[in-house]
Structure 1
Amino acid sequence: MTSLRQDATIQLTDHLAIPAIGLGTWPMEGDEAYDAVLRAIDKGYRHIDTATNYNNEDAVGRAIVDTDTDRDDLWVTSKFNRDGHGRDEVKQAYAASLQRMGLDYLDSYLVHWPNPDQHKFVAACEGLQELVDDGKLRSWGVSNFKPAHLDAVYAAGLTPVMNQVQIDPHHLQPAQLAHNAKYELITAAYSPLGRAGEFLDDPAVTTLAEAYDKTPAQIVLRWHLDSGRIAVPKSADDTRQRQNLEVFDFHLTPAEVAAIDALDTGAGPRLDADEFGH
């Protein structure tokens, strides 16, 4: 069974481990994205997340090339759009992402949205697996895949390494998490601190922040990690970037995790993957 390890990584397969905290880069572009990624890597981030649709693959890639950190010490994820769906199309999308980023390979490449109206996301996954088999890509996964979409992928004999979905204390999506767990599929939480972030003021969070001498955001990130999830918070601010990494010196108890779980409103994700996609 996949599990959080003591070296701040999460095991994806028998031979791959991903840093548990990543740097989200949406909606930063251009010099802002370049500068934020460069500073984050300097602070110790080893997991960088981007996407074709973020319009910043070039800036993110430039920062990765310009940093003093060895490329092999970084985990770099990108995601592709609906025009990359299909066995051949995804290979073209991957080549284009690499060219924009100035990199030789990615550590993971994700189907950004299933776009079920096209009926091509399974073929895209087949193409991704071929890229891995050919040694051009380290791993592949999906994003925003609902249970039915995952069932179709697994029915084809394919095994993604992660499903990146919107998870925060107000949008826990327990049915989605249970389906991911059914396949022993790691969940990566995007927008892990929410957008409006009202739950950061809830006593279930603030009481723990006081007890552990942490910020409410750090408590929520630790909640993700203690639940076995990757968390990908976005920040260009030096203080918050640093704080988002300072979550590996404590653990929440099962009761404390459950108290934050109880903040779930029952609301689904902001966007429905059966209706939205790009």
Structure 2
Amino acid sequence: MTTIPTLQLNDGRTIPQLGFGVFKVDPAETERIVTEALEAGYRHIDTATIYGNEEGVGRALAASGIARDELYVTTKLWNDRRGEAAAREALGASLEMLGLDHVDLYLIHWPTPANGSPVETWQTLAAMRDEGLTSSIGVSNFDERYLPEILETGIVPAVNQIELHPQFQQRAAVELSAQHDIKIEAWGPLGQGKVDYSTGVIGEIAQRLGVSWAQVTLAWHLAEGRIVFPKSSSPERMAENLAAASVQLTPEDIAAIDALDQGAAGRVSADPAEVS
């Protein structure tokens, strides 16, 4: 079985660098798919309240027989749950659906600037961390426009989960996060099926190494020190993605993929400024 590397967060805790995402996984299929992922060797599961599948994730975790301390579970606070009371209620509901007494990582899902300042909500996440309801806290989709307000509280996120793939590398957000030892989690690490990375630079590297373009792309993320959690409903693809941890890229390979960045033009999903 592939050994999954871990990273140390700025709060002293560790996180598996390669996990399994359940974005857009049908709630009716979630238990089966997460069970297959756990059987393949994944131990880090990334979900969110808005996905509607926390309950299925929880059933799979409970049925797996895997010790709680071997699992890493992330969920996220949705945009309509702002302020102390709403955030506490939301995490409580997530824990109930997941069947857990704590999650390993709890994130504010989007900055949603139209909904006002996230500061009270962020401070509430810190309080819930101190109470043991979540081990670590972080943010999602907080780029260089929105991360400074969080940092001004003096409570530094452990992670920042942002859209990031070869043609959209969010360098300003990555640099600001790195200055505060905030680990980057790349969502949509393969371009969400909206970018053809199977040809060109990545395809050529894949052909040379005898692996898939997806494995090359995931190996690039891992080599850059990012956390990734690709999603798949196919056991074969789950295993293939997990095996990316064993793919060794050269410095030249990494530099060639770095050069694919298109800046803001490379974004394929929503701009945080437009999400409310």
Identity %, equivalent residues: 38
Matched residue, 2:117:
120
Q: More displaced, 198-207 or 74-83?
A: 198-207
Does the aligned pair in 1 maintain the 2:10–2:181 contact within 8 Å?
no
SS at match of 2:101: coil
Instruction: Name 2:175's counterpart in structure 1.
Output: 178
Give the distance between the partners of 2:192 and 2:148, measured in 1 at CA. Answer: 30
Aligned counterparts of 2:266 and 2:90: Cα–Cα separation in 1: 30
The residue aligned with 2:275 is 276
**Contact 1:170–1:199 under 8 Å retained in 2:** no
- 1:86 and 1:120 in contact (8 A); partners too: no
Moved over 4 A (4+): none
SS in 2 for 1:83: coil
Tell me the distance in 2 between the aligned counterparts of 1:50 and 1:250.
26
> TM-score scaled by structure 1?
0.93
Alignment CA distance shift 1:154-1:268 (3 Å): farther
CA–CA distance in 1 between the matches of 2:177 and 2:12?
20
Give the alignment's TM-score, normalised by structure 2: 0.94
Does the alignment pair 1:217 with 2:202?
no
Q: Using a 3 Å threshold, how does the CA distance of structure 1 residues 45 and 7 change in structure 2: closer, same or farther?
A: closer
Name 1:250's counterpart in structure 2: 247
Matched to 1:118, the amino acid is N
- C-alpha change, 1:88 and 1:175, in structure 2 (3 Å) is same
Q: State how far apart, in whole Å, the 2-side matches of 1:59 and 1:194 are.
A: 26
Matches within 5 A, 1:152-231: 152-231=149-228
Report if the CA contact (8 A) 1:29-1:59 is conserved: no
**Is 2:104 the partner of 1:110?**
no
SS of the residue aligned with 2:34? helix
The match for 1:15 is 12
**CA drift at 1:7:** 5.7
> Is there any run of 5+ residues in structure 2 with no aligned partner, and where?
none
Matched, 1:81 2:71: no
Change (3 A) 1:7 1:21: closer
Equivalent AA in structure 1 for residue 17 of structure 2: A
| Cα distance in structure 2, aligned partners of 1:160 and 1:141 | 4
Per-residue Cα deviation, 1:29-50 (whole angstroms, up to 9, x for no partner):
2231111101101111010010
Between 1:63-72 and 1:46-55, the stretch displaced more is 63-72
What amino acid is the match of 1:48?
I
Q: Residue 4 of structure 2 contacts residue 18 of structure 2 at CA under 8 Å; is this kept in 1? A: no
Structure 1, unmatched stretches of 5+, are 1-5
1:138 matches 2:104: no
RMSD over aligned Cα, in angstroms?
1.5
SS at match of 1:148: coil
Residue 94 of structure 2 aligns with which residue? 97
